């Protein structure tokens, strides 16, 4: 079968344009071409076709008419078997991991943004020639695609078994830092763009290798993992963060300040919080290599690139991956038990502070990801729950429940891998495996934790496992039920949480909190009014008064909002009560 052939070349870095040429050896009659509307792993219709331009087609040197069918599909007016060549440009200036980017410092693209799908020929072999075109001198190529004819810098032709593989292998271009290591016999490459000379690549390689080895052994023991090579593509930027998983690679973005620095040597015993965050991201995306790229929702057995692909299982695929990302930092020896417990508290507390947990189940949150999770607004915390955060706590609860009967979530994950052959999975598979391992049905637990808005028994399960759970006061904004931004002496209200004192006072998202009025403390004293520049000023100006009046500006109108001071709210702090028991649990 002749392959579907693409060439992607840098057309103009300053104009952020890639040139793409697609050649189909034998097109279908009236061949349809389609650009995906979403990228697997990021559950939002992103309409990548908005950045496609200059589309034209020829057949054996003659122009071919292209009829646009809808927002992302075109029909080439050719006879069956005709050779079809299609040319277009893609504007690439989104610095996220989801689309494409090109400027004079680097290039990056996903096939979902750049490669039109030849409808009906998806299962044929595909080739991608990555050509420098007008790329700056010194640029190289990194990708998980299989090289078939490339030069020392990686320019040249790559191959994929089918369209799915082609678009599941993003490409990084530039004069990046590059290092390599072997984990359990599998070669891994790590490229980093955006770092300075101070960047400690050796440390990043060493720590990442430990995570990879721990995960490969977790899934396969001494056996080989289901990929022959793996590529990490990390872009360090001023304030970015994010990652997207792929079958044998991942695209990551971190804050430049979170990279390890040579000046940190001799190695501090503890990583900085920022570096721990980066290692957690690396661990997360690598765990997805198994959990969602192979073991995956039955609905994703075959991706439909034309529309939303609904699944109610993101609590499992994102939440359980979030549970294991931190756990593998501990198992790789990169954090200690105390740090791991702190990371769990950082997951428990935001859920407690999300009124939406009482509105939406985590299964509904999964299904609704397409319209809710990636569309954050002022009402998001009131109406939704994160399938990452709550999903990770469901995993924690299941792990602790299984451990009470001598099994563990580790056993469950491996049993699911066995049961499905590392393929499509349904919730019924999860329930069956849990029943086998626990020796009893855990359906009631799953119904309550996943399909209801009941509170999770996280604290009691942690206490039974040897963890000390203590209260600590929450910050003022949380106590009042607000999320604010404070810049230039202005307190802007971003969100008012459902059922909070701030809501009862009539404060609203978009208000600027200007000041407060305070009643006299004693007879004969005058009332006071103060301008505030920071939210914390409200607490100390208030003293012990049980109420005050908030002065806010809304749509240029000044409003007085009487605020009853709420009782102090508490967050949890976790520490090991029985260090040996916690150590045994976390060690696997």
Residue 19 vs 318, nearer CB to Zn ion? 318
* # residues contacting Zn ion (CB under 5 A): 1
**What DSSP character marks residue 183?**
E
Residue 289 vs 479, nearer CB to Zn ion? 289
Question: What are residue 335's phi and psi, to 5 degrees?
Answer: -135, 160
Residue 107 vs 280, nearer CB to Zn ion? 280
- Checking DSSP bridges between strand 230-237 and strand 249-255, what pairing results, if any? parallel
How far apart, in whole angstroms, are the C-alpha atoms of residue 190 and residue 167?
20
CB of 386 to Zn ion, least distance (A): 12
Question: What are residue 327's phi and psi, to 5 degrees?
Answer: -60, -35
Question: What are residue 190's phi and psi, to 5 degrees?
Answer: -130, 115
Residue 165 vs 318, nearer CB to Zn ion? 318
CB atoms within 10 A of CB 551: 20
Stretch that binds Zn ion, among 147-155, 199-207, 310-318, 373-381 (CB under 5 A): 310-318
Residue 140 vs 293, nearer CB to Zn ion? 293
Residue 201 vs 242, nearer CB to Zn ion? 242
Q: Reduced to 3 DSSP states, what percent helix, strand and coil does the chain have, rounded to the nearest 5?
A: 30, 30, 35
Tokens at 93, concatenated: 């200036």
How far apart, in whole angstroms, are the C-alpha atoms of residue 255 and residue 237?
5
CB of 363 to Zn ion, least distance (A): 17
How far apart, in whole angstroms, are the C-alpha atoms of residue 460 and residue 349?
15
Residue 52 vs 169, nearer CB to Zn ion? 169
CB of 78 to Zn ion, least distance (A): 41
End-to-end CA distance of the chain: 47
Query: What would the x/- binding string for Zn ion be over residues 244 to 263, using CB under 5 A?
Result: --------------------
Binding positions for Zn ion, 312-371, rule CB under 5 A: 318
How far apart, in whole angstroms, are the C-alpha atoms of residue 223 and residue 475?
48
Residue 172 vs 318, nearer CB to Zn ion? 318
Q: Which of 43, 584, 574, 577 is nearest to 308 (CA)?
A: 43
Residue 242 vs 506, nearer CB to Zn ion? 242
CB of 370 to Zn ion, least distance (A): 16
Residue 318 vs 399, nearer CB to Zn ion? 318
CB of 79 to Zn ion, least distance (A): 45
Integer CA distances (angstroms), 584 to 113, 394, 395, 578, in order: 46, 20, 17, 10
CB of 224 to Zn ion, least distance (A): 24
Stretch that binds Zn ion, among 93-101, 311-319, 408-416, 530-538 (CB under 5 A): 311-319
Residue 195 vs 327, nearer CB to Zn ion? 327
Tokens at 178, concatenated: 């590059």
CB of 244 to Zn ion, least distance (A): 8
CB of 259 to Zn ion, least distance (A): 21
How far apart, in whole angstroms, are the C-alpha atoms of residue 115 and residue 453?
42
Residue 49 vs 289, nearer CB to Zn ion? 289
Note the Cα 412 to chain centre separation in Å: 24
Which run of H or E residues covers position 244? strand 242-245
Query: What would the x/- binding string for Zn ion be over residues 392 to 411, using CB under 5 A?
Result: --------------------
Q: Is 195 exposed, middle or buried (0-12, 13-18, 19+ CB in 10 A)?
A: buried
How far apart, in whole angstroms, are the C-alpha atoms of residue 271 and residue 70?
50
Assess contact for 476 and 539: CB atoms under 8 A: yes
Query: What would the x/- binding string for Zn ion be over residues 194 to 233, using CB under 5 A?
Result: ----------------------------------------
Integer CA distances (angstroms), 425 to 317, 390, 413, in order: 10, 20, 11
- Checking DSSP bridges between strand 106-109 and strand 100-102, what pairing results, if any? antiparallel
How far apart, in whole angstroms, are the C-alpha atoms of residue 50 and residue 372?
22
Residue 43 vs 88, nearer CB to Zn ion? 43
How far apart, in whole angstroms, are the C-alpha atoms of residue 457 and residue 287?
26
Query: For Zn ion, which residue has the nearest CB?
Result: 318
CB of 288 to Zn ion, least distance (A): 6
Binding positions for Zn ion, 93-132, rule CB under 5 A: none
CB of 242 to Zn ion, least distance (A): 10
Assess contact for 357 and 286: CB atoms under 8 A: no
Residue 387 vs 585, nearer CB to Zn ion? 387
How far apart, in whole angstroms, are the C-alpha atoms of residue 449 and residue 258?
34
How far apart, in whole angstroms, are the C-alpha atoms of residue 426 and residue 376?
28
CB of 321 to Zn ion, least distance (A): 5
CB of 141 to Zn ion, least distance (A): 26
CB of 228 to Zn ion, least distance (A): 23
CB of 431 to Zn ion, least distance (A): 23
Q: Is 465 helix (H, G, I), strand (E, B) or coil?
A: coil
Which are the contacts of 567, defined by CB distance < 8 A and separation ≥ 6? none
List interacting residues with Zn ion (CB under 5 A): 318
């Amino acid at each position: 079968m002749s392959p579907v052939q693409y060439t992607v070349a840098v057309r103009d870095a300053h104009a952020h344009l890639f040139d793409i040429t697609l050649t189909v050896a034998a097109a279908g009659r009236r061949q349809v071409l389609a650009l995906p509307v979403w990228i697997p792993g990021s559950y939002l219709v992103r309409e990548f076709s908005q950045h496609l331009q200059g589309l034209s087609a020829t057949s054996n040197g003659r122009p071919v008419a292209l009829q646009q069918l809808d927002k992302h599909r075109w029909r080439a007016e050719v006879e069956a078997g005709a050779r079809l060549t299609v040319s277009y440009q893609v504007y690439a200036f989104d610095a996220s991991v989801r689309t494409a980017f090109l400027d004079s410092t680097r290039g990056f693209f996903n096939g979902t943004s750049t490669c039109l799908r030849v409808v009906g020929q998806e299962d044929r072999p595909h080739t991608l020639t990555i050509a420098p075109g007008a790329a700056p001198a010194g640029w190289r190529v990194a990708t998980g695609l299989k090289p078939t004819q490339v030069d020392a810098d990686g320019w040249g032709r790559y191959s994929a078994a089918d369209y799915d593989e082609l678009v599941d292998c993003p490409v990084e271009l530039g004069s990046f830092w590059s290092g390599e290591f072997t984990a359990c016999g599998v070669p891994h490459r790590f490229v980093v763009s955006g770092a300075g000379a101070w960047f400690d690549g050796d440390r990043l390689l060493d720590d990442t290798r430990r995570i990879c080895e721990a995960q490969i052994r977790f899934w396969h023991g001494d056996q080989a993992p289901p990929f022959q090579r793996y590529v990490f593509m990390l872009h360090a930027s001023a304030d970015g963060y994010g990652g997207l998983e792929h079958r044998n690679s991942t695209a990551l973005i971190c804050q430049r300040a979170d990279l390890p620095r040579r000046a940190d040597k001799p190695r501090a015993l503890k990583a900085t919080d920022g570096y721990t965050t980066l290692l957690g991201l690396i661990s997360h995306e690598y765990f997805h290599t198994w959990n969602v790229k192979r073991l995956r929702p039955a609905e994703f057995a075959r991706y439909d690139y034309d529309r939303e692909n609904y699944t109610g299982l993101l609590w499992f695929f994102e939440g359980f991956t979030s549970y294991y990302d931190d756990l593998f930092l501990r198992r790789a020896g990169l954090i200690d038990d105390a740090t791991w417990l702190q990371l769990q508290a950082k997951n428990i507390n935001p859920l407690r502070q999300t009124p939406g947990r009482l509105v939406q189940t985590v299964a509904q949150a999964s299904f609704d990801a397409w319209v809710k999770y990636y569309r954050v607004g002022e009402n998001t915390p009131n109406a939704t729950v994160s399938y990452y955060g709550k999903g990770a706590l469901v995993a924690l609860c299941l792990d602790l429940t299984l451990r009470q009967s001598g099994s563990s979530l580790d056993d469950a994950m491996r049993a699911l891998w066995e049961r499905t052959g590392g393929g499509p999975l349904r919730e019924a598979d999860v329930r069956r495996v849990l029943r086998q391992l626990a020796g009893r049905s855990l359906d009631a637990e799953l119904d309550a934790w996943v399909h209801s808005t009941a509170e999770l028994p996280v604290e009691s399960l942690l206490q039974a496992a040897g963890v000390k759970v203590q209260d600590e006061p929450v910050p003022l904004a949380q106590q009042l039920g607000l999320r604010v931004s404070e810049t230039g002496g202005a307190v802007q209200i971003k969100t008012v949480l459902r059922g909070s004192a701030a809501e009862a006072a009539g404060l609203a998202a978009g208000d600027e909190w200007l000041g407060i009025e305070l009643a006299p403390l004693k007879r004969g004293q005058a009332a006071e009014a103060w301008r505030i520049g920071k939210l914390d000023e409200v607490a100390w100006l208030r003293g012990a008064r049980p109420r005050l009046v908030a002065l806010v500006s809304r749509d240029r109108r000044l409003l007085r909002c009487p605020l009853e001071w709420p009782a102090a709210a508490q967050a949890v702090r976790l520490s090991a009560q029985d260090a040996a028991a916690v150590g045994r649990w976390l060690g696997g």
